[in-house]
Amino acid sequence: MTDLVSVIVVSRENHEADLLAVGSFEGEAPDIAGFDEASRRAVERLGARAGWRGKEEQAAQTEAGPDGPVVSLYGLGAAKDFTYAKLSRWICRLAEEGRVGGARRLAVVLPAHTETAGRAAAERVLRTLALSSYRFDRYQKEAEKAGRLAALAVVPPRGEEAVYQAGLAVAEPVARAVAFSRDLGNTPANVASPAWMEEQARELAASRGLRVTVLDAAELERRGMGGLLAVGSGSAVPPRMIRLEVGSTGPEISLVGKGVTFDTGGISIKPANDMDDMKYDKCGACAVLAVAQAVADLELPVRLRAYTPFAENMLSSRAYRPSDIVRCYNGKTVEIVNTDAEGRMILADALAWAAEEKPEAMVELSTLTGSCMAALGLHAAGLFSPDDDLAGELTAAAAEGGERLWRLPLFPEFLEEMKGPHADLKNAGGRWGGASTAAAFLSQFVGDVRRWAHLDIAGVANVKTEGPSHGATGFGVALTVNWLRRLGGSLD
């Protein structure tokens, strides 16, 4: 999997960089106390240039001297408007400019701000720094010739050095997990079949000492997991259901992730436009596998069970059809209205299996609906839960991790719209409220588990614009790990 840049925390007196990047807010002088004289003077020269205001996107560069680093001064805009999203974009910009410019060791000088102070902020920043050089370029012939940063140093705001140093122990394993999730999500469907995903899960289990169970098509048939079998019926590669276990003490938690390795829509075929993005329809499952890795690496005191159903939704003479009636693992029948509403079908079996094992709480992540994207755009995931406490815990964990959740409703009327004319349920509702009707459908497979949540990550699972960050994001890994840390008592 992708190697990440090494991140270190350094002092102002000992940055030893060949590129020193300093952030400055509009109308404020950068804090350069403690730096060597050549670097201080270089920053002062840049700040004294005509037109320099520290406005967002402003940048200026100079040499610190014959033996000193190249110094770049970056405007960050008004401090009152500064957010983690802006900080993240700035860090990624620095990493790309450093790489293109041939820098080997980049040092980032963080300004004092609420977004850079304290434990949660330090962990967010360090994770972002580690991931700033991430590239999915294994299929590019010229990738090996491209420059790469050898190390990335961060100079914390004064007084925050110890917090940042301690934050590395958490930020680095979480960054590796996010990169693992991105790698899985970015891998194309001609490679990342359900069988290949099984191989990755087995390798993860072997490397971290996890317990793994894999249900093949024959076992799925024996257990009556008709939802997953139906979705996978049109593909030459049979579906898989994978269950990972990690931990032996602490609260029992189940995670479920949607793993459609490619989604044509089936007989209800999707339009050709943007169908290439359908390799990202497995990103919920990729995030769940990555969380299992992080829990093992961090040795969190939780008993985690991770369930990832994998199928390829294809067209063939064997594919499931509109009007088919499918029986899922918990016995409920579903009338197929739209074969492109396939994610909820594979999740039905996974959720029912997870619920049968009676966890204390259950969280599911899926790229489930375009309706959620219509509601929230590309900036937040939808959160559905009947439990106010769990919804609050997840929202807080997301904020700590620099991710966004927005709670959407689960009114009883949404479930009424999912009742089937000839079966217990139908797999698609009407035009309106599609994200909520999908969540209502899933609610019928959680059994007696009262603390459950569905995260619809369709809008945030991958970056849809071209550029260095294009592709899978690993959304959900950081927030879920933070939630598990607090449940297990690792956070106050």
User: Coil, strand, or helix at residue 62?
Assistant: strand
What residues contact residue 187 under an 8 Å CB cut-off, 6+ apart?
A: 196, 279
Cα 108 to Cα 137: distance, rounded to the nearest angstrom: 25
Tokens describing residue 351: 């959720």
Tokens 């420059």 correspond to what residue?
147
| The token pair that represents 32 in the structure block | 């350069």
Whole-angstrom Cα distance, residue 61 to residue 19?
10
The set of residues, in sequence order, having a beta carbon less than 8 Å from that of 250 and lying 6+ positions away, is 300, 301, 302, 303, 487, 488, 489
SS3 sequence, 246-305? ECCCCCEEEEEECEEEEECCCCCCCCCCCHHHHHHHHHHHHHHHHHHHHHHHHCCCCEEE
Cα separation, 434 vs 369, in Å, equals: 7
The encoded tokens of residue 378 equal 């590309």
The helix/strand/coil state of 382 is: strand
Q: In whole angstroms, what is the distance from residue 118 CA to residue 122 CA?
A: 6
Task: Kindly list the catalytic residues.
Answer: 270, 344
**Long-range contacts, 61-67 (Cβ 8 Å, 24+):** 64/20, 64/38, 64/39, 65/38, 67/38
CA nearest 462: which of 222, 286, 336, 249?
Answer: 286
The residue among 358, 307, 355, 363 whose CA lies nearest residue 487 is: 363
> How far apart are alpha carbons 131 and 57 in whole angstroms?
21
Structure-derived torsion over alpha carbons of residues 16, 19, 23, 26, reported in degrees to the nearest 10: 130
Burial of 19: CB neighbours in 10 Å, binned 0-12, 13-18, 19+: buried
Q: How far is CA 30 from the centre of its chain?
A: 33
How far is residue 108's CA from residue 129's CA, in Å, rounded to a whole number?
9
